[in-house]
Structures are given as structure tokens and as C-alpha cells.
Structure 1
Amino acid sequence: MKIALTSVFVNDPMAAFKFYTEVLGFVNKVYMPEMALAIVAAPDEPDGTSLLLEPNQNMGADTFQKTIYEAGLPTIVFGTKDIAADYQRLKARGVVFKGEPKKTDWGTQVLFEDTCGNLIQLHQVEEQL
């Protein structure tokens, strides 16, 4: 068993699709603007887990999303093998970061805004010797 599809609430699926594909470099899996439906996948695993950019206009999702954001918590974590390079690449593309990458007990991480109501954590696991 494996995760095939998961979702993240966004305040505008079409704007999120543009950000996730054009800025972050994710690949288009499904794009149906007339149905507000957008699904993307990581460029290095286009047939791996997909991410549904879910409209937040139902059952209190907008309140949940706002509360998580205001608490400074990431909605989702994206792994990277080179956080310094990805940080610089994304920063050059206009991504708004909440500080610089910092080492923690769990690796190196930094938060950024996805322009659609979420904080995303970029995380690199440190190699164990």
C-alpha cells in the first residue's frame, strides 16, 4: 500500500496550480479550471504521490487553513536533498520565505508561503554518520 493522492486546502486552486507548476516546478497531472480541479506531482516523481489543490470553500476548511497559518505551522512538508540550493533557486523565483534554513534536531528546514493561504516546510534530513 502507498499514498497515491493527498490534498492541501488552497484559497484559489487555479492560482495554486500556477504557483506549484510555474514557480515550484511541479508537473501537471490534472488541470480542469472549469471544475476548479488541479492535481500536481513532484517533478522527480511524476508518477508518485499526487497533490490535489483542494478549494477551501467547504465545511470550515477556510477557518482550519487560516488557523494553521496563523499558528505558523506548515500545511505540508516537501523533502529536498539540497536545501541550500532549493532555497536560493526558489528565492530567486520570488518565493517568500519565513527566514533562512535552520538546522534542528531533525534536519535543516525553512518555511515558505505558497501564495494560496499555506505555509510549506522545506526539509532536508541530515545524513547520519
Structure 2
Amino acid sequence: MRIHVTSILVDDQEQALRFYTGKLGFVTKNDIPISDTDRWLTVVSPQDPDGVELLLEPDGHPAAKPWKEALVNDGIPYTQFLVDDVRAEFERLRGLGVRFVQEPADMGPATTAVLDDTCGNLIQIVQMHQ
């Protein structure tokens, strides 16, 4: 068994696509209309185009927005993305106007930073130390 698709709930799929591709550097894998307003919209890492897909899933369910707001209010990231160098990625993304709620911090076996994805989520970037 392997993870094929994982999702993140977003309040605006088009805005999410712009952020996840234009700022974070992912590439679109699937963009398939599933209703008048929603799409099966996935992105992947350009370093692993056949790897795990991230579904930019509409947060239309009544429980989604309060849950996302609670996570953000408590400073809890929705998910994590692995990077080679947190500090370099922090500087690159900050230069693109990405807002961070936690600057790079050493956490023992990892260095982390937390950003706002502009779609209602906090995302942690993490660098694992050997």
C-alpha cells in the first residue's frame, strides 16, 4: 500500500493553484472539472512528477472552515513539506512575498518554519538532519 493522493482543504481553488505553483513551485498534475464550481485539482513536486499528488480540495463542507480556523488560531500546520534547506527556502519564499508565522527554528533532528498558504492553512516546511 502506498499514498497516492493526499488533500489540503482550500477556500479558493484558483488562488490555491496560483500559490502552490507560482510560489511553492509545484506543478499541475490534474485539472478536471467535477461540477460547475469545483475541480479535481492536483499538484506534484517537479522533483517527483509521478509521486504523491496534493489535491487542492474545496473546503465547502460545513465542518471544514471552523476546523481550519481552529488549527490556524492554535498555530497548528495542516501539513508538512520536506525541503533540503529550510533557511534557503524561507529566504526564497519570503522574497516572493510569502508570509511566515514561524521563522526557521532548530527542533533537534529537524529545522522547521511555518507559512500561510493564503487559502486558510498553515504549512510547515521541514529539513531533516542526518
* TM score, norm. by length of structure 2: 0.91
Task: Name the % identity.
Answer: 39
Two-structure CA RMSD over aligned residues (Å): 1.3
| Cα offset, 1:59, TM superposition | 4.0
Deviations 1:8-59 (A, max 9, x none): 1111111101100111110101124654222101121111000001111114
The match for 2:25 is 25
Q: Is the 8 A contact 1:76 1:121 kept in 2?
A: yes
Q: 1:36 aligns with which of 30, 38, 41?
A: 38
State how far apart, in whole Å, the 1-side matches of 2:14 and 2:111 are: 31
Instruction: Tell me the amino acid that sits aligned with residue 15 of structure 1.
Output: Q
The match for 2:79 is 76
Gaps of 5+ in 2: none
The match for 2:53 is 50
State how far apart, in whole Å, the 1-side matches of 2:68 and 2:10 are: 8
Q: Is the 8 A contact 1:14 1:36 kept in 2?
A: no
Between structures 1 and 2, the one with greater strand share: 2
State how far apart, in whole Å, the 1-side matches of 2:9 and 2:59 are: 5
Instruction: Tell me the amino acid that sits aligned with residue 116 of structure 1.
Output: C
User: How many residues in Structure 1 have an aligned counterpart in Structure 2?
Assistant: 127
